A and B are shown apart, each in its own frame.
Chain A
Amino acid sequence: MSNSTQTPVESNAKYRTDTASDGQTEPLTAGVGEDVVLELDDLQKSYSSEPVVEGLSLSVREGEILTLLGPSGCGKTTTLRLIAGLERPNGGAVRLNGRSVSGSTFVPPEERGVGVVFQEFALFPHLTARENIAFGLKDRPKDEVDQRVDELLELVDLAGQGDSYPDQLSGGQQQRVALARSLAPEPEILLLDEPFSNLDVDLRVEMREEVRQIIKETGVTAISVTHDQEEALSISDRVAVMNDGEIEQVGDPEGVFQHPESRFVAAFLGYASFIPGYVSGDVVETDLGTVPRDQIHGLAPEYDRTRVDLLVRPDDVSVRRLDCEGVEACGNVVARRYLGPTFLYEVELDTGESVQCMHNHDENIPDSGPVGLELDADHELAWFPREQRPEDDSRYSD
């Protein structure tokens, strides 16, 4: 609860209150607002008694792009399939525009008005791009269908490719046809299942922008699913981080990245080190030196004289010198990883804690030996109560 001034408790949705005013976090279950298109209410799904989705609640507002972000096996794809009606939940409800579609009654996928872009696109190989796009436009006069298909081909910039079969199209073009096909019947909500995972890295970045643009142009409400944090942060209006079948945090991308509410979210989005500290008056004493209390985001008075962990990103720490003379924190470089333009160093502090820091590739820091470190973050730091620290830290290493 680093982002609120209220009593931090174990990261748990039901204690969170509405702090949406600061644009960072929102309640997981909104009241029935006018603009809510989709509501998931305590959704449950398990396969052979193995729970995959556990009590998941979420509201999606009209016209937004929300991304379910989480590691593989966290239940995000299952959630998407539950929304589409491709799976039946074991408990809870799905409401589309206030109408219950899963729960007491089950509305089959073809009557839900959802569009889905599948992971491997699922283009019908025996039909041309045009025929694929027209597939969902049945029972309409032919010229109306033709007009709509032309419109969509135009929208996805494939006007000349209508008569190609899927295997004659490149990955990016297939992606566009899949998007056009799902948008053709004007769905109330568009679902995208790992839409970019099938594309080359270069193309992926390009298509991300393009898909976001097309979705925004049509104004459709969209839910996307991914395990790629960069993708989630770049295409979404809001991100919902999932772990073990539950949502850990929902918010706009910056808010979730800068003010993670749980250690899981902190570690899943980018590199994270947790530095132990002691709250003492106006400062927090840490292994990396003292940090002014007002640089800690929303540290409540109840936490005076307690142990906390500060979330430190690699760009918040730097190596000051190559020995331990006159620095507050001293440690040994134990590993160096080349990330392209930068090096990521793992430094074991004399106190035994380990911290990561990042430096430009041209700064000459040896990959072993003593270093003097300094915390030089120019933004507020997130914190977690000490007792929250799990026994096994390994799952949080990037």
Chain B
Amino acid sequence: MATEHRTSADDDADEETQLPLGVSIAAAAVSAAVLLPILWLVKTGLDVGFSEAIALLTRPTTLEVFVNTTVLVTLTTAACVLIGVPLAYLTVRTDLPFRRFWTIVVSLPLVIPSYVGAFAFVSAFGPQGSFQRLLAPLGVEKIPEIYGLEGSILILTLYTYPYVYITARASLKSMDTTLIDAARTLEHDRWETFKRVTLPQIRPAVAAGALLSGLYALADFGTPSIMRYDVFTRVIFVEFGTFGRDTATLLSLQLVAVTLFILWLEARVRGEERTTAGGRSRGVVSLGKWRYLAMGFAALVAGLALVVPVVILLSWLGTASTAVNQSLAFQWSYVTNSVVVAAAAAAVAVVAGLPVAYLSARYDGLLPTAFERVSYIGYAVPGVVLGLALVFFGSQYATPIYQTLYLLVFAYVIRFLPQSVGSLRASFLSVDPALPEAARTLGRTSVGAFRYVTLPLVAPGLFGGAALVFLTTMKELPATLLLRPSGFTTLVTHIWTAYESGYFGQAAVPALVLLFVSGLSMLVILRQEGYDVK
């Protein structure tokens, strides 16, 4: 998957080639379906009425939500960079002891859904939490407040810094170290070299990772809710629950606008990349006695992010059996329910992603690009907003499928279509266009060439994309809460119910199952990206 093939001829041939009609119609249909709920949300927003909308949007609470969100996203992103970049540097460019071990361990927090982490931290470090009980005999009566902004930043940073870590690491690994040698011979010391050579080279990758972290923080519903910090996602959910439909709609639109603004900003900055990859990469920086401090740093991050929640979950496991409330008892049907909807979402997302990915990988031009962009709308629409839009749409215009699994699966597909399209597109790009052409000259029709040459070659990407959608769907929280048919319980909704009702112990089994499932998803990502830990 290393090389991208666009054309085989020395003259660029693709741009005016006619688009295949059937595939284009399929891609257009997918785009329309994906756009529908968002357009519906916009329409609902417009129905609110101008003066009323202004009044709602300029309420002090609305402004407060906006400021809160901005602060949370900015600080979380900054913290992710401050943790992710040094860890990447330590595991790639230095002689940190047990480098391979740390490389894996500090990527692992990605496995833990942030709401599970938040849940565990509240239980551990909250008032009357296990940590405080532990310290009580020592006369400690109060520990710093975990709720609110600080807690939200802590949790979101611990579980999203791996995005920065992984991208920064990849770019450090592919960076040509002769550049560093060159700078050293030009009379730059190690720190100056890092600032003037290494940093500019890895900046685009760090920015890409920071974008993922920032967007995650912006869209995350579980963490701020558990931390009781009023950001867009939490307030939208609360307003919706208390029939503040207009406010929920307007806040949703505002949230989407903020997301689009960040994406636009990123696209603008990205155009200025001037980096080279490849070349030789050798030699590491010797840490000397600093290596103990470096190990301590890595151990602290991993300990907080991994050990705390796992220990807490395991300790709950012991209390679960003594549950008072029978209706909260864990049932294995929750696992089956999760698996069934996730499998359905994965299958549909791959089938819907195929025409979009194929067109965008094989053809230039306005339409293929537009279809691809539209398919990425799931990135820009947080789950809580998407859930809300589909509730409005479903309850008014699609009553036959409202409160059914069809609508829930539809929501998952919109949300995670980018994963399947991205994975499929990369696979299509890795297939040399000369291969289907060769099949044509050997007597196959275009359909035959696709069936016997292209499809077998993109199969790994197809299954990889499906696996990613499957596993992320299993973890999805807000849209599931909003759209599940009544009486339909999945692992995730069960954890949420346990949290809301205060019977934390009931969340242990489903949370551990989720961790296991997420661990699998990590394996898939690692295999897909060819992530080597050497």
* Residue A109 at the chain B interface, CB threshold 8 Å: yes
| A-side contacts of B438, CB under 8 Å | 116, 118, 122, 124, 181
- Quick one: which of B12, B434, B444, B448 has the most chain A CB within 10 A? B434
For the complex formed, measure the closest distance between the CB of B431 and the CB atoms of chain A, giving whole angstroms: 9
| B-side contacts of A73, CB under 8 Å | 10-11
For the complex formed, measure the closest distance between the CB of A111 and the CB atoms of chain B, giving whole angstroms: 8
Q: By the criterion CB–CB under 8 Å, are A136 and B12 in contact? A: no
Q: How many residues of B are in contact with the other chain, CB < 8 A?
A: 26
Pick from B8, B445, B457: contact of A119, CB below 8 A: B8
Q: By the criterion CB–CB under 8 Å, are A118 and B434 in contact? A: yes
Pick from B16, B432, B448: contact of A120, CB below 8 A: B432
* Residue B322 at the chain A interface, CB threshold 8 Å: no
Per-position binary interface string of chain A over residues 168-189, scored 1 when its CB falls under 8 Å from any chain B CB and 0 otherwise: 0000000000000110110000
Q: By the criterion CB–CB under 8 Å, are A135 and B11 in contact? A: no
A72 to B9, CA, bound (A): 10
> Which of A11-19, A75-83, A341-349, A355-363 lies on the face that meets chain B?
A75-83
* Residue B278 at the chain A interface, CB threshold 8 Å: no
User: Assuming the A-B contacts A109-B437, A120-B434, A124-B453, are A138 and B13 also in contact, with contact meaning beta carbons closer than 8 angstroms in the complex?
Assistant: no
B433 closest partner in A (C-beta): A122
User: Assuming the A-B contacts A116-B438, A120-B434, A182-B441, are A126 and B456 also in contact, with contact meaning beta carbons closer than 8 angstroms in the complex?
Assistant: yes
A139 closest partner in B (C-beta): B443
A250 to B137, CA, bound (A): 99
Q: How many residues of A are in contact with the other chain, CB < 8 A?
A: 36
| A-side contacts of B9, CB under 8 Å | 77-78, 81
* Residue A52 at the chain B interface, CB threshold 8 Å: yes
* Residue B291 at the chain A interface, CB threshold 8 Å: no
Pick from B432, B435, B440, B448: contact of A86, CB below 8 A: B440
A90 closest partner in B (C-beta): B16
Pick from B8, B445, B448, B453: contact of A118, CB below 8 A: B8
| B-side contacts of A116, CB under 8 Å | 437-438, 441
| A-side contacts of B8, CB under 8 Å | 118-120, 122, 193
A267 to B438, CA, bound (A): 35
Give the contacts of A85-120 with B (CB-CB under 8 A). 85-87, 108-112, 114-116, 118-120
* Residue A65 at the chain B interface, CB threshold 8 Å: no
For the complex formed, measure the closest distance between the CB of B444 and the CB atoms of chain A, giving whole angstroms: 6
For the complex formed, measure the closest distance between the CB of A120 and the CB atoms of chain B, giving whole angstroms: 7
A138 to B443, CA, bound (A): 8
Pick from A87, A114, A193: contact of B13, CB below 8 A: A87
* Residue A390 at the chain B interface, CB threshold 8 Å: no
Per-position binary interface string of chain A over residues 143-167, scored 1 when its CB falls under 8 Å from any chain B CB and 0 otherwise: 0000000000000000000000000
A119 to B434, CA, bound (A): 9
| B-side contacts of A136, CB under 8 Å | 441-443
Q: By the criterion CB–CB under 8 Å, are A109 and B435 in contact? A: no
Q: By the criterion CB–CB under 8 Å, are A72 and B10 in contact? A: yes
Q: By the criterion CB–CB under 8 Å, are A75 and B442 in contact? A: no
* Residue B15 at the chain A interface, CB threshold 8 Å: yes
| A-side contacts of B446, CB under 8 Å | 108
For the complex formed, measure the closest distance between the CB of B261 and the CB atoms of chain A, giving whole angstroms: 34
| B-side contacts of A118, CB under 8 Å | 8, 434, 437-438
A221 to B448, CA, bound (A): 27
User: Assuming the A-B contacts A109-B437, A110-B441, are A125 and B457 also in contact, with contact meaning beta carbons closer than 8 angstroms in the complex?
Assistant: yes
A187 closest partner in B (C-beta): B441
- Quick one: which of B16, B443, B457 has the most chain A CB within 10 A? B443
| B-side contacts of A193, CB under 8 Å | 8
For the complex formed, measure the closest distance between the CB of B185 and the CB atoms of chain A, giving whole angstroms: 30
A125 to B13, CA, bound (A): 24
Pick from B16, B443, B448, B457: contact of A185, CB below 8 A: B443
User: Assuming the A-B contacts A47-B15, A48-B15, are A77 and B10 also in contact, with contact meaning beta carbons closer than 8 angstroms in the complex?
Assistant: yes
- Quick one: which of A81, A109, A138 has the most chain B CB within 10 A? A109
* Residue A266 at the chain B interface, CB threshold 8 Å: no
Q: By the criterion CB–CB under 8 Å, are A135 and B442 in contact? A: yes
A52 to B7, CA, bound (A): 16
* Residue A333 at the chain B interface, CB threshold 8 Å: no
A108 to B16, CA, bound (A): 18
For the complex formed, measure the closest distance between the CB of A258 and the CB atoms of chain B, giving whole angstroms: 29
Per-position binary interface string of chain B over residues 1-31, scored 1 when its CB falls under 8 Å from any chain A CB and 0 otherwise: 0000000111111011000000000000000
Pick from B11, B16, B445, B452: contact of A110, CB below 8 A: B445
A163 to B13, CA, bound (A): 35
* Residue B335 at the chain A interface, CB threshold 8 Å: no
User: Assuming the A-B contacts A120-B434, A124-B453, A126-B457, are A109 and B10 also in contact, with contact meaning beta carbons closer than 8 angstroms in the complex?
Assistant: no
Pick from B432, B434, B442, B457: contact of A181, CB below 8 A: B442
- Quick one: which of A84, A110, A112 has the most chain B CB within 10 A? A110
Beyond A78-B9, A122-B8, A124-B439, list 10 extra A-B contacts (CB 8 Å). Answer: A75-B11, A81-B13, A86-B440, A110-B443, A126-B457, A136-B441, A136-B443, A138-B443, A138-B444, A193-B8
Interface residues of A (CB under 8 A from B): 47-48, 52, 72-73, 75, 77-78, 81, 84-87, 108-112, 114-116, 118-120, 122, 124-126, 135-136, 138, 181-182, 184-185, 193
In the complex, the 7 A-B pairs of residues with the closest C-beta atoms, listed nearest first: A136-B442, A122-B434, A109-B440, A122-B438, A116-B441, A118-B434, A77-B9
